[in-house]
A and B are shown apart, each in its own frame.
Chain A
Amino acid sequence: MIRTEGLEMEFKVGFAMRRVKALKGLTMEVKRGEVFGFLGPNGAGKTTTIKILVGLAYATAGKAWLMGKELGDVRVKEGLGFLPEQPYFYDYLSAWEFLDFYGRLFGIPKKARKDKAVELLGLVGLSQSKDLQLRKFSKGMLQRIGIAQALINDPELVILDEPMSGLDPIGRKDVRDIIMGLKEKGKTVFFSTHILPDVEVICDRVGILVKGELRATGTVGELLGSMEARSMEMTTEGLGPEDLKELERLSRQMVIRDGQASMFFDDPDKAREARRLVCQRGGDIVSLIPHKGSLEDIFVEEVKKGGRP
């Protein structure tokens, strides 16, 4: 659905025209029907990649294909839906006029345009506000009408740039539900984000971009599977202050609350020793939780390897 080969982007910065590479030979593939999360810290080149894909910027080297057609072919965009980062729209238009305008850009006939607008306003929950000018919309409403705009042509491929940033938890859930709905209809969704818990829930595959290079790609399970259990969290009760002091020496961190002591261990051996100690001193182990790495750990690790941009 999306394929890039050695995509490069070079900017000239400042008065001295210093060359800065925003993308360094990006090669990746997104398959039909999958939800692909594109992760990376600020300045990694996510938005640049997306801009190249949707035709807002031209790559300095490399090639890319959308739906089997090479970029530059305007017909590619017939099947493409796109929501930019922090979108601003024509605030003098009402929601209704707004969708109608985008429908016209695809040359959709009047009747079909009307039906589609009704359907989409329902989908994003804005049917009540259809005659309201966009300048009176809240941030969450703008994001939702933005998504409606991206779906006006019933696209095969939907590209969303940071669709969840700046939204409250309910707004994020709405966006997540819409993406899942698209997946059910067999659409391909490619989106960039920082909000990792959402990625774990909805993405089939993810790619991690750091400093213009793709560091890791695979399913969330694959990426997590490559990690060992990292740390152990143990909660105990019924121990005296002396015992706790000993345990504190073994642990990385200890928190005492409501008569219970929770401690974290990085080293499995130390965790084992601590368990033995608790049993010897007659304390109880309330819980013992191994912490496996989360997507966030992988993300942080990859970013650290690359050095922050």
Chain B
Amino acid sequence: MKVLAIAVNTFKEVIRDKIFYSLVFFALLIVGASVLLSTLTLGEQSKIIEDLSLNGINLFGVIIAIFVGIGLVNKELEKKTIYTIISKPIKRYQFLLGKYLGLALTLLVYVAVMTLCFLLVLYWYSHIVAVSLLPAVLLIYMELLVVTAAAILFSTFTTPTLSATYTLALYVIGHTITDLKALALTVAKKAPAATSVLDFFYYLLPNLQNFNIKSQVVHDIPVDPGYMCMAITYGLLYIAGLMAVSVLIFQKRNFK
């Protein structure tokens, strides 16, 4: 109930912010532009629309998750609105959880609206109802949830600018992390110690490639339900870990 009240309030906060709408506008623009771009290619036009739109939804979702996510806690601290919340019978973890769920809800609405627009465009253009793309959308949402949790974690202990930088860095690392594993394998013989360090980071940092099945679905390669389950479980566990650390840090904080 209390967590829900904070989540709903956070949802209102984001929904009533102009920045949110401008980002949604640009995401829609990409979906629209994909139709124009697809006419430049021979054949496979609907694939171009699918590919560009999915990536557009993903990219702007990540931007919302990072830039709204880092502000969730920081804005409350900066504007001191948190004073009136923490002095109520609310545990700090409830506050943090509420903020997280609020943005998760907003992102859900964002992804749902964007997907609907995208499927309509696709239907209008090539008369196909592309239900097979939905698993990719689901995992995009999962990735957004992980990025949001990371943004919240950083914003519990550092400034907005640094939180944004760290979250962005984590996002980039998350997509190139398989290279880290490859590096660990190449140096395995020469420096076993370095390998274990690299291995440690490989397992510590999020592997966001797990949530990327966009090209797979665009090229009609069937997605294994077992893989979907694993990816979702991985995402949920990772989020739980990030939130647990956030709560530990937030619990001890003195508000200035």
What is A's interface to B at a CB cutoff of 8 Å? 51, 54-58, 74-75, 77-78, 80, 82-84, 86-90, 92-93, 97, 101-102, 104-107, 146, 149-150, 153, 159
Contact = CB atoms under 8 A, between A and B. Distances in A.
B88 A77 contact: yes
A159 B88 CA distance: 12
A82 B89 contact: no
B78 to A, nearest CB: 9
Interface in B76-107: 79-91
Contacts of A87: 80, 83-84
A161 to B, nearest CB: 9
A237 to B, nearest CB: 56
Contact of A102 (B4, B13, B84, B255): B84
A96 to B, nearest CB: 13
B89 A75 contact: yes
B81 A90 contact: yes
Given A92-B13, A106-B89, A56 B254 contact: yes
A164 to B, nearest CB: 18
B89 A92 contact: no
6 contacts: A54-B87, A56-B82, A56-B83, A93-B12, A101-B5, A102-B88
A88 B252 CA distance: 23
B127 interface: no
B189 interface: no
B233 interface: no
B17 A84 contact: no
B255 A92 contact: no
A107 B4 CA distance: 11
A101 B6 CA distance: 8
Given A88-B81, A89-B81, A105 B13 contact: no
A55 B86 contact: yes
Chain A at the B interface: SS class? mixed
Given A56-B82, A88-B80, 6 more contacts: A51-B255, A56-B255, A58-B254, A104-B2, A105-B90, A107-B1
Interface string B187-201: 000000000000000
B83 A84 contact: yes
Interface of B: 1-2, 4-6, 9, 12-13, 16-17, 79-91, 252, 254-255
Contact of A90 (B2, B13, B87, B88): B13
B89 A90 contact: no
- A-B CB proximity, top 7 nearest: A104-B5, A82-B87, A54-B87, A57-B254, A84-B83, A77-B89, A92-B16
A105 B2 contact: yes
Given A90-B9, A104-B1, A82 B16 contact: no
Nearest to B92: A55
Contacts of B255: 51, 56-57
A226 to B, nearest CB: 35
B95 to A, nearest CB: 10
Contacts of B79: 88
A105 B88 contact: yes
Nearest to A161: B83
B80 A105 contact: no
